[in-house]
Structure 1
Amino acid sequence: MEQKWWKESVIYQIYPRSFKDSNGDGIGDIKGIIEKLDYLNMLGINVIWLSPVYKSPNDDNGYDISDYQDIMDEFGTMEDFDILLQEAHQRGIKIIMDLVVNHTSDEHKWFTQSKSSVDNEYRDYYIWKKGIDGQPPNNWGSCFGGSAWEYDSTTDMYYLHLFSKKQPDLNWENKVLRNKVYDMMKWWLDKGIDGFRMDVINMISKDQRYPDGYVNEKAVYGDITPFVFNGPKVHEFLKEMNREVLSKYDIMTVGETPAVSPSDAVNYVGNDRNELNMVFQFEHVDIGNGLEGKWSNLGYKVSELKDILSKWQLGLQDDGWNSLFLDNHDQPRAVSRYGNDKEYWCESAKMLATMLHMMRGTPYIYQGEELGMTNVAFDHIEDYKDIETLNAYKELVGIRGKDPEEMMKAIHDRSRDNARTPVQWDDSEYAGFTTGTPWIKVNPNYASINAKVQIHDKDSIFNYYRKLIKLRKEHKVIVYGDYQLLYEDHESLFAYTRTLDNETLLVICSFDTNQITFELPENILYNTNSLLISNYPVEDMNIVKVELRPYEARVYLLQ
C-alpha cells in the first residue's frame, strides 16, 4: 500500500456561512475562520475542506458561483483568503477548496453571454435544447424539485439545470469550456491551495441522447440517474483534468459521486486510473430513503449500515481509497440520526466517532461534529433556509398533498439545515457565533452543547476526538490495516478488526440502549492486548467476553 499524506490526514469541513462571524452581520466569514485556526490546531486536524467562498448570489448557499476567481462579499476579500491560507500553512494545516464545475450561477458572465443569442461565443458553454410541442425537451426532474429544464424566451430554448434553475449545467462536451476550467484550477493551485473537493463531479457527462427517464407512482418527473450519473465521458474528462492539472501538483482530490457502487468507485480512484484520490459515496447516508427520497424517512437497521460500510471497506481495500464520513453540510447531524441524542448523547457521539475513525480511509469531521451538535427542530417552515427543503415542502405538501405535520417531522430529521445552524462556540447569546442576528436560527441547546464547555472537560466529545486523531498519527494499523467485519448479522453490535503485519486492532461498538455481550471469535489470536481508547471507564481487561454498556465503544491493540 502506497503511503500518502492525504491517507494519513484527518479533514475538517468548514461551511463558512455558519462557522464564525467576525463582523456582526450574522454571516460567518473568512476572518472568523482565521480566528478559530488555533482551535482547529488544538483539535489536531491536518486539512480544512472549505465549502465555497467564491462570488455568488447565494441561491444555493455558494454552490451557485458567479466568479470562480473572486470572493463572496459577505465572506470577505481575496486578501482575507490569502491571509487564511498563510496562517493555516504556518500551523501545518492544508486547505482544499470546493470545485463546483458541473454548473455555475445564472449570473456568471459565461451564462449571461450564453443566453444572449444562439451564435454567441459562449452559447455552447451550457446545454441548450429546443422544446417539444411547448414542453421541455424531456421529462427530467431537478434534484431540487421541479423540471430540470428552464425556458428562456430570449432564444426560445430551454437550458438544463440539474439543481436550481439559477444553476445552469455546464457543457463539458465543449473543449474550450474544459480548458477554461483547467486554467481556473491552476490559478488556485498556483496560489498555494492543497487540493479540491469536487462537487457532483460524476454528473459532468450527460447521455447526449437526452431520453425521458422512468417515472414512479410518487413522482411527477423522470429519473435522471441513468443519464447523468457516471456518464459516458466522465472518465475521459477526469483523465484529461488529471493530465492537464492535477498530476502537476502534490495535492489531494476527493470527488462527490452520488449513485456509485464500489466497482464504479474503483474506476475513479484505482491506483492506476490517474483520475482522483478518493470519492464520497452516499449509500450509507441514503438508508431510509423511499419513494419520496429522503423525505420518506423510513429509518434503518444497524445490520444494513454495517453491510454498506463493510462493502465499501472491502471494495476499495486492494485498489483505491475510502473517504469516511457521517456528517456534512448536506446531511443531518450524525448523533441525531445514528446515535441517541437524548439519554446517551455523549456516549453515542463518541461511539460513532470511534466506529468511523478506526476504519480504513480518510476521516472527515464536519464542523460541530466534534462537539456532538444535534439536529434542530424549527417550529415553522419559514424558519428554514435550504432551497432543497423549501422546494420539497412546496411540492410534497402543496402539490401532492402530504400531511404538513408528517413533512415537518421528515424535515426535522433529514433537512440539510440541521447541519447549517451556527457552530456553538459558547453559551452567550447566539452561541458566540455572531454579535448580530444570525442568518439562520441557532440550535436552542447551545447553552449546554458548546466548545467553551468542552475544551476544558477532559471527558468531553471534543477531547475524545483529539484522542482519536492523536491515535491515528501514532498507529499505522489505523491508517493502513486490512478490514474484517465480525458478527455481520448482529442488530446492535458493530465490531471489526484492522490488521497490519503483526498488529491487530479490535474495534467494538454497541448501538444498543441496553447491555449486550461481545465474545471474541476463536480465530483471533494474540499474546498481549492494550486498550487504546474507550468512551466509558474500563477496569477489566478481559476481551474474551465483554459486557457492553449502552452505546459503548472500545478499541484494543492486539499483538
Structure 2
Amino acid sequence: MKKIVLMLLALSFIVACKNDSQENKGTANINEKESLAPVSNEVLESAVIYEANIRQYSPEGTFDAFTKDIPQLKELGVKVIWLMPMYPISMKKRKATGDKSIEDIEDPEERKKYLGSYYAISDYSAVNPEHGTMEDFDELVKTAHDNGMYVILDWVANHTGWDHKWITENPEYYTKNEKGEITDPINADTGESWGWTDVADLNFDNPELRKAMKQEMLFWVKEHDIDGYRADAAHSVPTDFWEDISKELRAVKPVFMLAEAESPKDLFHNAFEMGYNWEGHHLLNSIAQGKATAEEWDAYMTKIDTTFQDDDYLMNFVTNHDENSWAGTVKERMGDASEAMLALTYTLPGMPLIYSGQEYDMDKRLKFFVKDTIPKEKGKVYPLLEKLGALKQTNVALHGGKEAAAYTHVNTSNEEKILAFKRNKDGKVLYYLANMSPEEITFKVDIDGEFTEYMSGSSMKLSKDQELKFKAWEYKILTN
C-alpha cells in the first residue's frame, strides 16, 4: 500500500511540474512577444533606418537570406527596417528594357529575366513567391522584433499593376480618360503620362477604393504584426486618406509612418512622423559637385526651420533605391566628399538611412527590373557606419525625432566653404565642422573649449582666434 501511495505522490509531482513548466512556457512566450516595446518617439529619436532590397540583397533574393543577417544590423545601430515592396508583381505591361515592355520580348527564356518593378503590385495581401512564403516573411518580422528592430512595409497606394483583380472586378477604382479607359499616372501639371506605363492610376475620389485600400493596410498590421509603412509618392494621394488610415492603424497598435515626400506640409501634422529630405539630399549632391556652397546649406536649414513644425522631421541620406539605380552611386555623385556627406546625414536633425549594399562600399548601380546582387565584403564604410550608429544611439545631442536636439549655425571666417553647426540637448553638446570644398582651407571658427574628436578619439582644444587648416572635404565631429 505504501508503494502505491508513494507512486501516486510521485506521479502527481511530475504532473504538477509539467503543468508549471507549461504555464511558465506560456508566460515566457507572452513575455518574448512583448519584449519589443511598441514603436515610440523615444526609440525613434536615436534610430537608424535600413532600406532592405530583398530581391538584390542576396544571390537567392529571398526573405530567408536577409533574415539571417538581421542580427548583424544591430552593429550599425539599425532600429527600423524598411522593406521595399515584396508583393507579387504584375506580368501585364511589365517593364523590360528601355521603352520595351515584356510583351515586346518574343523569346520565352529572355522574358524570364525581367522581374518587373517592385511598384507594379498585383496583390497587396500576398508576398512575391520569388522571395519565399508568407511563413518566411513572418519569420523575418519575428527575427527583427527579437533583435529590437521594427519592420515597416513600402506601401504603393497611388497605383496598382495591370494584373490586379480590381482592374476587372472594380474598374471604378481607377482613373479613366475621356474614352473611359483606365490610364497610367498622369502629370497634373502637363496632362501627360509620367511614363509609368506598367501601372494603373487609382482614383481616391472613390470612397469604396479608400475602404478597400484601408483594409489592405490593416491586414499587415493585424495579421502579420508589422510596425508601419513607408508611403510611396505620398503627395500623390490625398492627405485626408493618410490621416484616416493612420488613425485606424494606431487604434490597432502604435505605428511609424514615413512619407516619400516633403510636401504638402500637412502630411506631417497627423498622418506621418517623418518625410524625405529630398531637397537637402540634392543640395548635398550639388555641394559635392562644386555647384553649391556651405552657405547655401545654411540658408536651406534656416528655410526648413521656418516651414516645418517643431515636431516634424526628415530622413537624411546619401543614397536610396531611386538614387542608386537612376542618379548614380554615392561615388558617382559625391566623389571624395562621400564620407563627409555621410557623417553629415548622421549629425543633422532627423533620421539617417542606410540602403542595402551601402554598408559594403557598393559602387555600382543596382539593376532595377532584373536580378542583381549587392557586394558582401566589409570595406571602409561598414566600420564608419558602426561608429556613426553608436554615436547616434548614445548621444542625446543627436536626437532627431519629435524632441530633437537643437541645431544652431556656428560662424566661421569662410562661410562659403566651411560648414559648422552645434547640436545640444540635456547638457550634451556636439559640433560638426567640415571643409565643404575640394581644396585645402585655412579658417577660424566661433568655438571655444576642449573636446574629443569622435572619429579619431583624440583631444582637441579650440579657441575663436585659432587658425585651423582642413584638407579637401575634411570633417570633425566634436563632443564634450
TM-score range, shorter chain: 0.7 to 0.9
Contact 1:313/1:483 (8 A) holds in 2:
no
Distance in 2 (alpha carbons) for counterparts of 1:308 and 1:47: 27
Q: Which position in structure 1 is the counterpart of 2:54?
A: 16
Q: 1:495 aligns with which of 404, 410, 420?
A: 420
Q: 1:79 aligns with which of 135, 154, 163?
A: 135
1:358 aligns with 2:406: no
1:33 aligns with 2:66: yes
Q: Which runs of 5+ in 2 are unaligned?
A: 1-39, 96-115
Which deviations, in whole Å up to 9, do the C-alpha atoms of 1:329-368 show, x marking residues without a partner?
000356325532xxx4xxx433222111011111111122
Cα distance 1:497–1:300, how it changes in 2: closer, same or farther (>3 A)? same
Structure with the bigger percentage of helix: 2
1:547 aligns with 2:472: no
Q: Give the counterpart letter for 2:157 in structure 1.
A: V
Q: Which position in structure 1 is the counterpart of 2:270?
A: 274
CA shift for structure 1 position 31:
1.6
Q: What is the SS of the residue equivalent to 1:64?
A: coil
Q: What is the SS of the residue equivalent to 2:392?
A: helix
1:478 aligns with 2:403: no
Q: How does 1:382-531 map to 2 (within 5 A)?
A: 386=368, 422-425=373-376, 450-451=377-378, 454=379, 460-479=380-399, 480-486=404-410, 490-521=415-446, 524=447, 526=449, 528-531=450-453
Distance in 2 (alpha carbons) for counterparts of 1:502 and 1:334: 38
1:175 aligns with 2:207: yes
Contact 1:54/1:62 (8 A) holds in 2:
yes
Cα distance 1:319–1:385, how it changes in 2: closer, same or farther (>3 A)? closer
Q: Which position in structure 2 is the counterpart of 1:129?
A: 177
Q: Of the two, which has the highest radius of gyration?
A: 2
Contact 1:198/1:255 (8 A) holds in 2:
yes
Q: Which position in structure 2 is the counterpart of 1:372?
A: 361
Q: Which position in structure 2 is the counterpart of 1:152?
A: none
Distance in 2 (alpha carbons) for counterparts of 1:62 and 1:138: 16
Which deviations, in whole Å up to 9, do the C-alpha atoms of 1:473-511 show, x marking residues without a partner?
211111121112335973432221112243321101223
Distance in 2 (alpha carbons) for counterparts of 1:323 and 1:139: 26
Q: Give the counterpart letter for 1:496 in structure 2.
A: F
Cα distance 1:43–1:330, how it changes in 2: closer, same or farther (>3 A)? same
Q: How does 1:58-457 map to 2 (within 5 A)?
A: 59=95, 60-113=116-169, 122-131=170-179, 141=187, 147-148=192-193, 162=194, 164-190=196-222, 191-204=224-237, 234-257=238-261, 260=263, 264-265=264-265, 267-269=266-268, 273-286=269-282, 300-303=291-294, 304-309=296-301, 311-312=303-304, 315-316=307-308, 318-332=310-324, 335-340=330-335, 344=336, 348-376=337-365, 386=368, 422-425=373-376, 450-451=377-378, 454=379
Q: What is the SS of the residue equivalent to 2:162?
A: coil
Distance in 2 (alpha carbons) for counterparts of 1:506 and 1:299: 24
Distance in 1 (alpha carbons) for counterparts of 2:49 and 2:306: 22
CA shift for structure 1 position 89:
1.4
CA shift for structure 1 position 268:
1.7
Distance in 2 (alpha carbons) for counterparts of 1:461 and 1:138: 40
Provide TM-score, normalisation by structure 2: 0.75
CA shift for structure 1 position 421:
5.6
Q: Give the counterpart letter for 2:256 in structure 1.
A: M
Distance in 1 (alpha carbons) for counterparts of 2:184 and 2:438: 50
Cα distance 1:482–1:339, how it changes in 2: closer, same or farther (>3 A)? same
Distance in 1 (alpha carbons) for counterparts of 2:357 and 2:126: 27
Contact 2:51/2:81 (8 A) holds in 1:
yes
Q: What is the SS of the residue equivalent to 1:108?
A: coil
CA shift for structure 1 position 192:
0.8
Cα distance 1:171–1:71, how it changes in 2: closer, same or farther (>3 A)? same
Distance in 2 (alpha carbons) for counterparts of 1:307 and 1:338: 22
Contact 2:76/2:385 (8 A) holds in 1:
yes
Q: Give the counterpart letter for 2:122 in structure 1.
A: S
Contact 1:472/1:478 (8 A) holds in 2:
yes
Contact 1:53/1:62 (8 A) holds in 2:
yes
Contact 2:396/2:426 (8 A) holds in 1:
no
CA shift for structure 1 position 288:
10
The alignment covers a number of residue pairs equal to 405
Distance in 2 (alpha carbons) for counterparts of 1:315 and 1:474: 29
Q: What's the RMSD between the two structures over aligned residues?
A: 3.4
Distance in 2 (alpha carbons) for counterparts of 1:29 and 1:310: 44
Contact 1:349/1:372 (8 A) holds in 2:
no
Distance in 2 (alpha carbons) for counterparts of 1:137 and 1:188: 28
Cα distance 1:421–1:311, how it changes in 2: closer, same or farther (>3 A)? farther
Q: Which runs of 5+ in 1 are unaligned?
A: 23-27, 114-121, 149-161, 205-233, 377-383, 388-416, 426-449, 455-459
Cα distance 1:461–1:126, how it changes in 2: closer, same or farther (>3 A)? same
Distance in 2 (alpha carbons) for counterparts of 1:40 and 1:501: 28
Distance in 1 (alpha carbons) for counterparts of 2:176 and 2:392: 49
CA shift for structure 1 position 374:
2.5
Which deviations, in whole Å up to 9, do the C-alpha atoms of 1:398-442 show, x marking residues without a partner?
xxxxxxxxxxxxxxxxxxx9xx963111xxxxxxxxxxxxxxxxx
Distance in 1 (alpha carbons) for counterparts of 2:52 and 2:69: 11
Which deviations, in whole Å up to 9, do the C-alpha atoms of 1:431-463 show, x marking residues without a partner?
xxxxxxxxxxxxxxxxxxx32xx3xxxxx3211
Distance in 2 (alpha carbons) for counterparts of 1:368 and 1:307: 32
Cα distance 1:352–1:310, how it changes in 2: closer, same or farther (>3 A)? farther
CA shift for structure 1 position 518:
4.0
